[in-house]
């Protein structure tokens, strides 16, 4: 049994290593599925409560807030999360106590997106996943505009979105990038900043 | 239902009924704060969702709470902070129970323990440890999800009492190099339970050193992160005064029974010096590259129990420095997922595990050894296992209907081995190994779950898992849950679920020629549970109330062989010639259980510096094994709960945390079958813990914790010593002592 155990221990180690290597190799050979840390349903609930904290929200939204949900059409994750965001937005008649309309937009380039925001008078751009590499350009293009950009993935706030959501200690957290917010004429009240975590690029 | 239960139910329903929908409305700021307090869970249905909408009663224990209340192990977290679960402390591996059901000596195998979604229960006996033996450094813990009730629909065997998932931190929350040092001490007590401060050498003492690292980076063009921590913990318990229990002569030698070199012939007891310690080094690593996550965990858990009891050492030398148990775990996993389309995601998890267990038990008394060992014997029980497996799943979602269909299949192969080695106590010569067995078995388990939220006020979840296990056959585990949101921030749930525990390799194969034969036809244990709960949030406050009913079948217990069976077993060579009474494991027990649990938590003052919470569970449980009359469940308290309050002074000032756990008086493990003239009960126990934590003023990177705990009770619910059963009307049970006063100081420095 003593000998058997030693053999078994080595077998265990070998089996662990082989399984991990095989799985890791297979896993790395394909792109993974990105998922939101905070359920989209809760994200939309949070967003509805956050919007009134923006001093410019009422003026920006007017009587009806137009929301662009931006996806990357060649990215299945992005389309999946975008569909969830769209469905959750449409399930609510009011967002930030204002009526709203929603539109799904495929991302082509940052300048086009900024132009679309202006043309549609969008007050809110909800960024799905898959835009990690494009976010700095999007942030640049949206500077000077009057729109709130919201990211469904936490890491995208650091890359240029104004607002986002992360989970820590099993609870949702609000992330905000203040410099980008100011450049997009988003002016959060001080009592909101007490509830949010400020992120720097 | 008892009058007290009825009254509590009536009060709770009245309270919820009187809460008009508008009363729960808060202003916008409070509503946002309330949403930010919504726990997010992933364990109940393998998808991220808020706890309020999940198809199970779930408690979240946060990293902040662990720090504030001086929590250093999983059992402490459960006792002080969870709803519905409680542990019992027999001075070695703790035992865990939930909502009034605790199976003594089950080695935690009725609860599924996971770390980052990977099961920790070992393959030989399904054992999981909940104290230091859990083998995960606590600074790495982001939060702990405690799910009450049957959970086999997603996870298969073991998940009868519940599922506990320890979720570790992301690298961004554990950035830098962490150096941790802790020291702890426990005061000894006299035989009457009074705390003793001298001599200093009798105090228990422990040290912990740990190093951790967390970093984010880019690898293969993918955002990546690494977290890892390794720790070493060693504690030498205080000296215990045990006994004396006068035994008399050894029935084999005719001389006063020997209790080893440190014992008094004929009498068990004295002061233990060395046979109470814990040694628990462990390490955990998590590497994430894109959405591929790999984990590796290694741990060793060695401990010595300072007395004889019904769980570990039914016999053995007194204060034997070499008597101990040791478990070693090496577990790894790789998980990844990929979206195939806007509606379809495939995911997988592959895992491998190596495990071994050893029990070292020395008995100088000939009567405690098999025939032929007149010098006494040294026993070595070995158990080992290797596991490899995988879980593939596919989900299909229809966002407009908030519908998600999850279809998966899990496959697992196990190789198990065990034997009992016997050596002559004096000469060290070995006898042929007993009860040697190896087996390779496996399971395959398809599962299906449908969640659906057609409206904002209705959430439905139904699932089914079919485990086909070569150990016992097939088992279906269904679950159905209905969630209703009747008004703002209120949730009502109705849940039906079933779960099982597969017979362990140990139970199927363990035999002893003296008195036990193998049980190859053992089937799974089963539980059915029905529960209803209501939750109301108002601002930073949350009120929870739930009632539950569970029925347990085919519980494994000892069945006595009749004369014909004993004779047949002797003829077959399964029992030694001359054996007169023998046993085997059979599915012969039932448990009937119902009760209520309730919780309240909230925060006050402008910046919520003051936080508080209370949890309470009352349960009525009857156990029925074989032809024995039904009886209340032993060890498990029928009434227990916890309460906590903390205040953060802010700035460089510390945070003060006060936590308490309460257990009602409860029958000891041998209360009903021990035959004692005075039925042994463990007294009601109130444990208080005060913790001060914060940053050292002027040294932002250096954090500290200082904590002191006190228990009102001096004894736990375990009968100890050689008299686990009474021999005559005068025999009194001796109960295991408890650590009453203890404290620790911990420092953590983040180097960069």
Kindly report, residue by residue over B257-284, the tens digit of the pLDDT: 999 999 999 999 999 999 999 999 999 9
Do A16 and B330 count as a contact with CB atoms less than 8 A apart?
Answer: yes
Give the position of tokens 């959405």: B291
Percentage of chain B beyond pLDDT 90 is 87
- The mean pLDDT value for B38-64 works out to 96
- The mean pLDDT value for B670-694 works out to 96
For chain A, positions 133-162, list CB contacts with chain B under 8 A. 155
**CA–CA separation, B113 vs B103, rounded Å?**
16
Give the per-residue pLDDT at A87: 96
Kindly report, residue by residue over B405-427, the tens digit of the pLDDT: 999 999 999 999 999 999 999 99
- The mean pLDDT value for B711-723 works out to 97
Q: Lowest-confidence range among A8-17, B251-260, B527-536?
A: A8-17
Q: Which two tokens stand for residue B28?
A: 């916008």
- pLDDT above 80 for B18: no
- pLDDT above 60 for B218: yes
Give the per-residue pLDDT at B626: 81
- pLDDT above 70 for B585: yes
As beta bridge partners, residue A7 has none
List Cβ neighbours of A124 (8 Å cut-off, separation of 6 or more). Answer: A51, A65, A66, A67, A68, A95, A147, A148, A149, A150
Percentage of chain B beyond pLDDT 70 is 96
Q: Which residue has the higher pLDDT, A28 or B434?
A: B434
- The mean pLDDT value for B365-372 works out to 92
For chain B, positions 581-640, list CB contacts with chain A under 8 A. 607
pLDDT bin (cut points 50, 70, 90) of residue B698 is confident
pLDDT bin (cut points 50, 70, 90) of residue B255 is very high
Contacts of B38 in chain A (CB under 8 A): 42, 171-172
Give the per-residue pLDDT at B23: 42
Query: Which among B48, B342, B433 has CB closest to A1?
Result: B433
pLDDT bin (cut points 50, 70, 90) of residue B235 is very high
Burial (CB count <10 Å: 0-12, 13-18, 19+), residue A36: buried
> Could you report the predicted ipTM of this complex, rounded to two decimals?
0.90
Name the stretches of chain A with pLDDT < 50: 1-9, 13, 20, 24-31
Is the pTM higher than 0.90? The answer reads yes
Give the per-residue pLDDT at B339: 92
Q: Lowest-confidence range among A147-161, B495-509, B570-584?
A: B570-584
B579 touches chain A (CB under 8 A): no
Burial (CB count <10 Å: 0-12, 13-18, 19+), residue B528: middle
Q: Among B25, B33, B35, which would you mutate to test the A interface (most chain A Cβ atoms within 10 Å of its Cβ)?
A: B35
Contacts of A33 in chain B (CB under 8 A): 291, 337-339, 345, 347
List Cβ neighbours of B394 (8 Å cut-off, separation of 6 or more). Answer: B344, B345, B346, B347, B406, B407, B408
A80 touches chain B (CB under 8 A): yes
Average pLDDT, chain B: 94
Give the per-residue pLDDT at B576: 85
Give the per-residue pLDDT at B8: 58
Give the per-residue pLDDT at B4: 59
Give the per-residue pLDDT at A31: 45
Largest interatomic CA distance in chain A: 79
- The mean pLDDT value for B30-47 works out to 93
As beta bridge partners, residue B662 has B641, B686
For chain B, positions 465-484, list CB contacts with chain A under 8 A. none
B64 touches chain A (CB under 8 A): yes
Do B223 and A46 count as a contact with CB atoms less than 8 A apart?
Answer: no
The alpha-carbon gap from A90 to the nearest alpha carbon of chain B, in Å, equals: 8
Beta strands B681-682 and B666-667, pairing class: antiparallel
Q: Lowest-confidence range among B20-29, B242-251, B378-387, B716-725?
A: B20-29
Do B339 and A77 count as a contact with CB atoms less than 8 A apart?
Answer: yes
pLDDT bin (cut points 50, 70, 90) of residue B21 is very low
- pLDDT above 90 for B371: no
- pLDDT above 70 for B28: no
């Amino acid at each position: 049994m003593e000998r058997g155990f030693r053999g078994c221990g080595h077998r265990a180690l070998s089996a662990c290593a082989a399984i991990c290597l095989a799985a890791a190799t297979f896993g790395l050979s394909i792109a993974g599925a990105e998922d939101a840390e905070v359920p989209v349903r809760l994200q939309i609930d949070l967003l509805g409560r956050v919007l009134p904290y923006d001093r410019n929200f009422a003026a920006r939204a007017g009587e009806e807030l137009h929301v662009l949900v931006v996806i990357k059409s060649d990215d299945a994750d992005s389309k999946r999360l975008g569909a969830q965001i769209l469905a959750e937005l449409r399930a609510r008649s009011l967002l930030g106590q204002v009526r709203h309309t929603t539109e799904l937009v495929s991302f082509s380039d940052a300048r086009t997106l900024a132009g679309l925001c202006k043309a549609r008078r969008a007050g809110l751009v909800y960024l799905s996943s898959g835009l990690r590499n494009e976010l700095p350009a999007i942030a640049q293009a949206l500077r000077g505009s009057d729109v709130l950009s919201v990211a469904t993935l936490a890491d995208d706030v650091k890359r240029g979105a104004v607002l986002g959501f992360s989970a820590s200690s099993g609870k949702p957290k609000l992330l905000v990038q203040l410099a980008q917010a100011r450049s997009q004429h988003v002016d959060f009240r001080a009592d909101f900043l007490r509830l949010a975590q400020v992120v720097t690029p | 239902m008892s009058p007290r239960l009825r009254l509590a139910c009536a009060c709770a329903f009245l309270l919820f009924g009187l809460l008009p929908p508008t009363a729960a409305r808060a202003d916008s700021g409070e509503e946002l704060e309330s949403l930010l307090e919504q726990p997010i869970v992933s364990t109940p249905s393998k998808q991220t969702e808020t706890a309020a909408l999940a198809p199970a009663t779930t408690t979240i224990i946060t990293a902040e709470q662990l720090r504030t209340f001086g929590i250093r192990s999983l059992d402490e977290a459960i006792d002080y902070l969870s709803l519905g679960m409680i542990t019992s402390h027999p001075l070695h591996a703790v035992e865990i129970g939930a909502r009034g059901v605790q199976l003594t000596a089950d080695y935690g195998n009725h609860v599924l323990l996971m770390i980052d979604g990977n099961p920790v229960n070992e393959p030989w006996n399904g054992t999981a440890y909940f104290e230091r033996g859990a083998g995960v450094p606590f600074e790495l813990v982001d939060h702990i999800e405690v799910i009450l009730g049957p959970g086999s629909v997603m996870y298969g065997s073991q998940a009868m009492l519940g599922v506990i998932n320890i979720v570790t931190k992301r690298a961004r929350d554990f950035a830098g190099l962490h150096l941790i040092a802790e020291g702890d001490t426990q005061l000894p007590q006299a035989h009457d339970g009074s705390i003793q401060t001298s001599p200093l050498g009798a105090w228990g003492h422990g040290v912990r050193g740990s190093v951790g690292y967390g970093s984010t980076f880019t690898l293969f063009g993918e955002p990546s992160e690494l977290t890892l921590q390794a720790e070493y913990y060693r504690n030498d318990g205080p000296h215990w005064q045990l006994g004396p229990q006068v035994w008399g002569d050894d029935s084999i030698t005719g001389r006063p029974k020997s209790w080893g070199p440190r014992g008094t012939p004929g009498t068990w007891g004295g002061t233990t010096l060395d046979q109470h310690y814990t040694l628990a080094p462990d390490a955990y690593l998590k590497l994430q590259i894109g959405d591929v996550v790999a984990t590796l965990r290694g741990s060793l858990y060695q401990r010595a129990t300072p007395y004889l009891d019904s769980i570990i050492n039914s016999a053995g030398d007194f204060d034997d420095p070499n008597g101990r148990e040791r478990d070693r775990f090496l577990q790894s996993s790789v998980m990844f997922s990929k979206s195939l389309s806007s509606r379809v995601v495939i995911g997988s998890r592959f895992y491998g595990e190596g495990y071994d267990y050893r029990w070292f038990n020395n008995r100088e008394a000939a009567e405690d050894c098999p025939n032929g060992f007149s010098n006494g014997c040294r026993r070595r029980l070995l158990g080992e296992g290797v596991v490899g497996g995988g879980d593939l799943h596919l989900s299909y979602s229809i966002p407009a209907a908030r519908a998600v269909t999850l279809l998966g299949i899990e496959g697992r192969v196990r190789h198990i081995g065990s034997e009992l080695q016997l050596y002559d106590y004096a000469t060290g010569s070995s006898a042929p190994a007993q009860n040697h067995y190896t087996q390779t078995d496996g399971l395959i388990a398809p599962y299906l779950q449908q969640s659906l939220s057609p409206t904002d006020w209705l959430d439905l979840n139904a699932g089914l898992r079919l485990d086909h296990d070569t150990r016992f056959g097939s088992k279906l585990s269904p679950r159905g849950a209905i969630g209703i949101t009747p008004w703002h921030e209120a949730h009502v749930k109705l849940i039906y679920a079933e779960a099982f525990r597969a017979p362990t390799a140990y139970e199927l194969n363990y035999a002893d020629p003296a008195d036990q034969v193998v049980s190859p036809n053992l089937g799974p244990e089963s539980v059915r549970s029905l529960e209803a709960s209501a939750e109301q949030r108002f601002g930073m406050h949350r009120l929870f109330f739930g009632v539950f009913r569970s029925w347990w079948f085919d519980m494994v217990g000892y069945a006595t062989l009749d004369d014909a069976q004993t004779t047949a077993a002797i003829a077959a060579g399964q029992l030694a010639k001359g054996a007169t009474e023998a046993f085997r494991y059979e599915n012969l027990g039932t448990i009937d259980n119902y009760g209520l649990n309730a919780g309240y938590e909230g925060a006050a003052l402008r910046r919520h510096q003051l936080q508080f919470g209370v949890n309470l569970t009352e349960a009525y449980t009857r156990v029925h094994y074989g032809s024995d009359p039904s009886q209340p469940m032993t060890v498990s308290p029928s009434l227990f709960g916890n309460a906590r309050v903390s205040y953060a002074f802010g700035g460089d000032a510390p945070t003060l945390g006060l936590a308490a756990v309460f257990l009602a008086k409860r029958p000891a493990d041998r209360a009903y079958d021990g035959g004692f003239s005075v039925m042994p009960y463990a007294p009601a126990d109130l444990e208080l813990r005060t913790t001060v934590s914060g940053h050292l003023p002027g040294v932002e990177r250096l954090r500290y914790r200082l904590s002191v705990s006190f228990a009102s009770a001096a004894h736990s619910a375990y009968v100890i010593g050689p008299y686990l059963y009474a021999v005559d009307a005068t025999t009194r049970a001796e109960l295991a002592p408890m650590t009453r006063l203890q404290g620790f100081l911990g420092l953590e420095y983040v180097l960069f």
